[in-house]
Chains A and B, each alone.
Chain A
Amino acid sequence: MGVAGGIDTRTQRDGGQPLLRGKAVLKNYGSVQAVRGVNFEIAANSYVTLLGPSGCGKTSLLRMIGGFEEISSGSIELDGLSLATVPANRRPINTVFQNYALFPHLSVEENVGFGLAYRNLSRADLAAKVGSALAMVQMTQMSKRRPRQLSGGQQQRVALARAIINEPRLLLLDEPLSALDRRMRKDMQIELKDLQRRLGMTFLHVTHDQEEAFALSDRIIVMNHGLIEQQGASSEIYHRPASAYVADFLGGANLVAGTIRSAAEGSASIETAIGVFEVPALEGLKPSSRATLCLRPELLRLSGKDGIAATVTHTVFRGAYWLIEARASNDQQLSAVIDDSPPNAGASIRLTFDPNRAWITAA
């Protein structure tokens, strides 16, 4: 399944070395391998998301970068220098913890100023820095309160202020929005993205929510079973998933199993139960190997006479659009998105798509 250890080896856009680079990073807990030797690169000044289901190793990887777990083998480099001998408290990396980990016995401003105690600042400088960090997250009014007197969203802001006040080279965010309700989560996504742009800081954000990943990231690293399935720009991950797993995890895509008939540069022909299609494809697929055709629901259109024959099983009103679930030959499930006047359940329909926007990936 997939291509282990980073399919994406293209050079960074700015040509320089990446801010963070992982080489064959591996983590064992006893006999369990949480992270199974991954390579990755994170460019300076970007918003990167580490995306995967729970238990995929993303949190272990984040904790190794933060210095809370030792690496079993491999290395992680920051600005080309290995972090192996640098303890967590000496790394220019700060973390926004899941559930925030605010110190309950300290006020908001004491929480935010916690790390400055290790930097020999004058009292005035310290107060000024805390003030501007709190202003940055609009929490100036709350500076004397204790964490338990704050709402979830407010605690989130304090945790952010506390982590950015030391001006880290890299900010790690461990499922920072998971404790918030849906509305608050949307607002905070916008603020996080905005904050990252204003600060010009590099954010590495762990989440299991693909919607959140697309809303925030310049680049996404998709993990599964301790391996990196794919890393690349968000649009690339979305439109050109490197494996059926990635396509499935990102959600919604119709996945049609098939066999490669012939492969050319950048495209291939695939034979499936619902037809033969020649569309753009992942590099390196061999003829007669198993592969998967990915058809996003928004790609499928109702057509008059030709196309894939299918029977509508049900239709779901989604507010802005209708989602149609249909069954094609060989019980292949297909879903399509249309704007209005959906066919009834049981109706026979035909579906077509723009071949240039479909994609063939590994099985």
Chain B
Amino acid sequence: MRTSRLPLIWMWMVYGFMYLPVAVIAIFAFNDSELVAFPLQGFTMRWFGQVLGDGRLTGGLGLTFLVSIPVALLSTLLGAMAALALTRYRMPFRGLLLVLVLLPFLIPKVILGVAQLILLSELGIERSLLTIIFGQTIVILPFTTLVIASVLMRIDRRLEEAATDLGASAFSAFRRVTLPLMKNGLLAASFIAFVLSSSEYVLTSLLSGRSQPLSILVASDFRFNMSPALDALALMIVAANLALIVIGELARLRSKS
């Protein structure tokens, strides 16, 4: 078949477009100028020093961990249960389960957020870190479920039958065969959940009370200001997120082969 170069050029342009903002963040975080503008003025690390010296931000970072680690664990656990139920067991209403798990992804976050807000006020529950954790878990559940299900769908069901055939109980077959084979999927799902949680803004801003994680603290800065120090902070967030995602993806892809 005759191959044209046009599709390849198009691919490069689209991928270039997708990485343009990332590149801009990376370049100007090291630019020795108060202005985020061309021409470049030389290399500096001082913007990073400025960010790390800001006690307010480091406190917010601590709270982010307090929220995002529980969210990652909870949404991975629920996602694993949903994915197992969807792919591994004959059960009634499987279609309903699929729709319900994906539902939070399909509802605009603002609408889901205000709806949760009303429920909280009806029940007389104060907004706290706990409300953020539960609110985020449900919107991240579709992602963890799909990631884990994609790994489970590639595990031959005959492997579990073989384990049963060799004398393993259902639980033992799960522990000795399914779990080791889906381990990387769980890892990838929890990393993705952590990243989605730590950078979630809309829902978090609606559900957070007095204790505000990093994403809320820096929100007004990111929304309305522009400075090389903010850029350095953005780069650190991007680098941390991308590192986690890439590690998770590598783990997930390895489990496929």
Point out residues on A near B: beta carbons under 8 Å.
Answer: 66-68, 87-90, 93-95, 97-99, 101-105, 114-115, 117-119, 148, 162-163, 166
Residues of B with C-beta under 8 A to A103: 159, 162-163, 177
Q: Is B167 an interface residue (CB 8 A)?
A: yes
Q: In whole angstroms, how far apart are the Cα atoms of A207 and B223 in the complex? A: 67
Q: In whole angstroms, how far apart are the Cα atoms of A148 and B164 in the complex? A: 22
Q: In whole angstroms, how far apart are the Cα atoms of A87 and B163 in the complex? A: 13
- Could you tell me if A97 and B161 are in contact, using CB atoms closer than 8 angstroms? yes
Q: Is B180 an interface residue (CB 8 A)?
A: yes
Known A94-B166, A166-B167; contact A88-B161, beta-carbon cutoff 8 A: yes
- Could you tell me if B167 and A118 are in contact, using CB atoms closer than 8 angstroms? yes
- Could you tell me if B169 and A114 are in contact, using CB atoms closer than 8 angstroms? no
Residues of B with C-beta under 8 A to A67: 164-165
Known A104-B181, A105-B180; contact A88-B165, beta-carbon cutoff 8 A: yes
Please give me the residue from chain B that is nearest to A112 by CB atom.
B166
- Could you tell me if A97 and B162 are in contact, using CB atoms closer than 8 angstroms? yes
- Nearest first, the 8 A-B pairs at minimum CB distance are A115-B166, A101-B158, A118-B167, A101-B162, A88-B164, A95-B165, A115-B167, A89-B164
- Could you tell me if B156 and A101 are in contact, using CB atoms closer than 8 angstroms? yes
Q: In whole angstroms, how far apart are the Cα atoms of A103 and B163 in the complex? A: 9
- Could you tell me if B168 and A118 are in contact, using CB atoms closer than 8 angstroms? yes
| B153-189 interface bits toward A, Cβ cutoff 8 Å, 1 = contact, 0 = none | 0001011011111111100110011001100000000
Extra pairs beyond A117-B176, A118-B172 (14, CB < 8 Å):
A66-B165, A68-B161, A89-B165, A90-B167, A93-B165, A94-B165, A95-B161, A97-B158, A101-B161, A102-B162, A103-B177, A114-B176, A118-B168, A162-B166
Residues of B with C-beta under 8 A to A148: 257
A346 to chain B, nearest CB (A): 46
- Could you tell me if A166 and B161 are in contact, using CB atoms closer than 8 angstroms? no
- Residues of B within 8 A of A (CB-CB), count: 19
Residues of A with C-beta under 8 A to B167: 89-90, 115, 117-119, 166
Residues of A with C-beta under 8 A to B172: 89, 118
Q: In whole angstroms, how far apart are the Cα atoms of A148 and B255 in the complex? A: 13
Q: In whole angstroms, how far apart are the Cα atoms of A90 and B172 in the complex? A: 13
Q: In whole angstroms, how far apart are the Cα atoms of A241 and B133 in the complex? A: 70
Q: In whole angstroms, how far apart are the Cα atoms of A101 and B181 in the complex? A: 13
Residues of A with C-beta under 8 A to B159: 101, 103-104
Q: In whole angstroms, how far apart are the Cα atoms of A59 and B181 in the complex? A: 26
Q: In whole angstroms, how far apart are the Cα atoms of A148 and B169 in the complex? A: 26
Q: In whole angstroms, how far apart are the Cα atoms of A79 and B209 in the complex? A: 69
Q: In whole angstroms, how far apart are the Cα atoms of A98 and B167 in the complex? A: 19
Q: In whole angstroms, how far apart are the Cα atoms of A23 and B158 in the complex? A: 27
Give 22 pairs: A residue, B residue, CB < 8 Å, sorted on A. A66-B161, A67-B164, A67-B165, A68-B164, A89-B165, A89-B168, A93-B165, A95-B161, A97-B158, A98-B158, A99-B158, A101-B158, A101-B159, A101-B162, A105-B180, A114-B163, A115-B165, A115-B168, A118-B167, A162-B162, A163-B165, A166-B166
Residues of B with C-beta under 8 A to A88: 161, 164-165
Q: Which of B156, B167, B169, B173 has the most CB of A within 10 A?
A: B167
- Could you tell me if A89 and B177 are in contact, using CB atoms closer than 8 angstroms? no
B182 to chain A, nearest CB (A): 10
Q: Which of A94, A105, A148 has the most CB of B within 10 A?
A: A105
- Could you tell me if B162 and A95 are in contact, using CB atoms closer than 8 angstroms? yes
8 Å CB interface, B213-257 against A: 257
Q: In whole angstroms, how far apart are the Cα atoms of A356 and B164 in the complex? A: 51
Residues of B with C-beta under 8 A to A162: 162, 166
Known A98-B158, A99-B156, A99-B158; contact A105-B181, beta-carbon cutoff 8 A: yes
Residues of A with C-beta under 8 A to B163: 103, 114
Please give me the residue from chain B that is nearest to A68 by CB atom.
B161
Please give me the residue from chain A that is nearest to B162 by CB atom.
A101
A329 to chain B, nearest CB (A): 53
